[in-house]
């Protein structure tokens, strides 16, 4: 992979990751996350991890992000309103972000260069080897992940189907009593 392409994809992934955090609309934030994950998938493919890159694109972008999009649509999440003020919080947040960036630069300055790649088996990283490892050594983790995703979908549907009166039972009961007393 040429260096200029690596730098472009790395910068694209960082900028779109910032878009995930800074967007106020949840759908726009999700689309920025899709761009981030696709840029990372292309980085994996360009660095020789073709299987991981395609799995990243298919599983995360193709499945998980569509699931997130449906959850956002089911819950009807709106953009968050902007609150004025809190100058001290903004100052300390900016100070903390600057400290994290400085720490990142110090970390990269002290990291030694990577050793040359070792000679690997010809089938290393292949789909066959990955599937054997996934369904033998990591079968329990694979199944637990699928159950957690199923529970997330069921929870999102349950939250989306909740009627507004159920959220405030005292008000709903008072309105029902008032309607009965008026003869409705």
Residue 71 falls inside a structural domain: yes
Domain end, chosen from 79, 98, 113, is at: 79
Number of structural domains found in the chain: 2
- The mean pLDDT value of the chain amounts to 81
Tens digit of pLDDT for each residue in 110-155? 888 777 777 777 777 677 887 888 888 888 988 998 899 889 888 8
Domain finish residue from 79, 104, 137: 79
**52 in a structural domain:** yes
Q: What is the pLDDT of residue 15?
A: 94
In a shared domain, residues 8 and 75? yes
Mean pLDDT across 10-37:
89
- Is residue 105 included in any domain, yes or no? no
Which tokens hold the place of 152? Answer: 């997330």
The parent domain of residue 41 ranges over: 1-79
Region of 111 please: left (phi>0), alpha (psi -120 to 50) or beta: beta
* pLDDT score of 102 more than 90: yes
Residue 181 lies in a domain: yes
23 occurs within a structural domain: yes
pLDDT (tens digit per residue) in 37-64: 999 999 999 888 888 888 888 888 888 8
């Amino acid at each position: 992979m040429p260096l200029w392409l690596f730098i472009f994809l790395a910068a694209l992934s960082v900028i779109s990751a910032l878009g995930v955090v800074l967007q106020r609309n949840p759908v726009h934030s999700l689309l920025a996350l899709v761009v981030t994950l696709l840029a990372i998938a292309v980085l994996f493919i360009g660095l020789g991890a073709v299987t991981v890159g395609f799995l990243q694109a298919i599983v995360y972008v193709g499945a998980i992000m569509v699931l997130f999009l449906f959850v956002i649509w089911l819950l009807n999440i709106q953009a968050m309103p902007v609150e004025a003020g809190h100058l001290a919080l903004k100052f300390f947040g900016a100070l903390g972000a600057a400290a994290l960036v400085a720490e990142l630069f110090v970390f990269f300055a002290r990291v030694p260069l990577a050793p040359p790649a070792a000679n690997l088996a010809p089938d290393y990283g292949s789909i066959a080897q990955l599937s054997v490892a996934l369904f033998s050594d990591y079968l329990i983790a694979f199944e637990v992940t699928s159950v957690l995703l199923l529970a997330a979908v069921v929870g999102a549907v349950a939250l989306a189907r909740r009627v507004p009166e159920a959220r405030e039972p005292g008000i709903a009961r008072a309105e029902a009593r008032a309607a009965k007393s008026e003869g409705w």
